[in-house]
Amino acid sequence: MKITRNNKKLIESIDISKTYEPIEAIKILKENKYAKFDETLEVAINLGIDSNKTDQGIRGVASLPKGTGKSVNVAVLTKGDKQKEAKDAGADLVGDNDLIETISSGKISFDLLIASPDMMPSVGKVAKILGPKGLMPNPKLGTVTPDIANAVKNAKAGQVQFKNDKSGIVHAGIGKMSFDENDLLENLKFFYSSINKSKPETVKGSFVKKVTIASTMGVGLEINLASLR
């Protein structure tokens, strides 16, 4: 990664080799943010898993107590009365076969797609389009469900999806830097807890090896794991 001039200044003023208490690290990142936009607090959690083993991969969702501060466009694939439920819950786009046709044409104007189980055969027709974009509905993520209204509300309220990458690291944005320090801390602890609860039974020994937080444009600071428990 190219180190910007501003990041060079940060590295000179902040000890990045130190392990910080969570609230201390959040304060430092807030005090040293310089971007003109409202940056996101990013967390990276290094896991003691073998990502090549399918039974050690983790994937799930965490409904952050203080939300993400991010506006999410939610589309819903469902039929009949469920369409009204979706609209009443705040869905931005609702449809059935007409929405499938829109997706087939490559017009995707949403960040998250929720589907009722009866629509999954139709979803299969556009899986090659949705899959590479990470938009394929999945029961494990709560995006294939008969409870459409609740799924939409959760997505709008600040639900974060997580999945480990090939290096065994989970990345997520857990709030805006304009949030109160204690709200960011609460989100961080909740997300850490959600990851811990997702530990596969086949993983032996230490599951979480390291937690680092950073603002979108800032440097990464390692967090004291004991303080997150």
Residue 12: per-residue pLDDT: 72
The reply to whether 79 falls in a domain is yes
**Are 22 and 42 in a shared domain?**
yes
- The CATH number of the domain where 144 resides is what? 3.40.50.790
Strands (E), the chain: 19-20, 40-47, 59-63, 74-77, 93-95, 112-115, 159-163, 169-176, 208-215, 221-223
Q: What is the mean pLDDT of the chain?
A: 93
**Are 151 and 171 in a shared domain?**
no
The reply to whether 106 falls in a domain is yes
What average pLDDT does this structure show over 195-205? Answer: 94
**Are 201 and 151 in a shared domain?**
no
**Are 177 and 223 in a shared domain?**
yes
What average pLDDT does this structure show over 42-67? Answer: 95
**Are 81 and 153 in a shared domain?**
yes
Residue 196: per-residue pLDDT: 95
**Are 150 and 180 in a shared domain?**
no
| pTM given for the model | 0.85
Q: Is 1 a residue whose pLDDT tops 60?
A: no
**Are 153 and 168 in a shared domain?**
no
Residue 93: per-residue pLDDT: 96
The reply to whether 64 falls in a domain is no
Tokens of 176: 């805006």
Q: Is 227 a residue whose pLDDT tops 60?
A: yes
Q: Is 60 a residue whose pLDDT tops 60?
A: yes
Domain limit, last residue, from 157, 186, 203 = 157
Helix (H, G, I), strand (E, B) or coil at 99: helix
**Are 81 and 151 in a shared domain?**
yes
Counted domains in the chain: 2
The reply to whether 5 falls in a domain is no
Residue 14: per-residue pLDDT: 85
The reply to whether 69 falls in a domain is no
What average pLDDT does this structure show over 78-83? Answer: 96
Domain limit, last residue, from 157, 186, 209 = 157
**Are 83 and 146 in a shared domain?**
yes
Residue 104: per-residue pLDDT: 95
Residue 7: per-residue pLDDT: 65
Q: Is 199 a residue whose pLDDT tops 80?
A: yes
| C-alpha triplet 179, 226, 13: angle, nearest 5° | 55
- The CATH number of the domain where 39 resides is what? 3.30.190.20
Residue 15: per-residue pLDDT: 87
**Are 124 and 168 in a shared domain?**
no
Domain limit, last residue, from 119, 137, 157 = 157
The reply to whether 123 falls in a domain is yes
Q: Is 13 a residue whose pLDDT tops 90?
A: no
Report how far apart, in Å, the C-alpha atoms of 212 and of each of 17, 107, 131, 150, 171 are. 11, 36, 29, 32, 10
pLDDT tens digits, residue range 115-162?
A: 999 999 999 999 999 999 999 999 988 999 999 999 999 999 889 999
Residue 6: per-residue pLDDT: 66
**pLDDT tier for residue 50 given thresholds of 50, 70 and 90:** very high
Tokens of 53: 């083993």
**Are 143 and 177 in a shared domain?**
no
Residue 9: per-residue pLDDT: 66
The reply to whether 4 falls in a domain is no
The reply to whether 208 falls in a domain is yes
**Are 143 and 168 in a shared domain?**
no
Candidates 18, 13, 6; CA nearest to 212 is 18
| Domain, as residue range, for 127 | 74-157
pLDDT tens digits, residue range 203-213?
A: 998 999 999 99
Q: Which range, of 2-6, 21-25, 33-37, 71-75, averages the lowest pLDDT?
A: 2-6
Strand partners, 176: 40
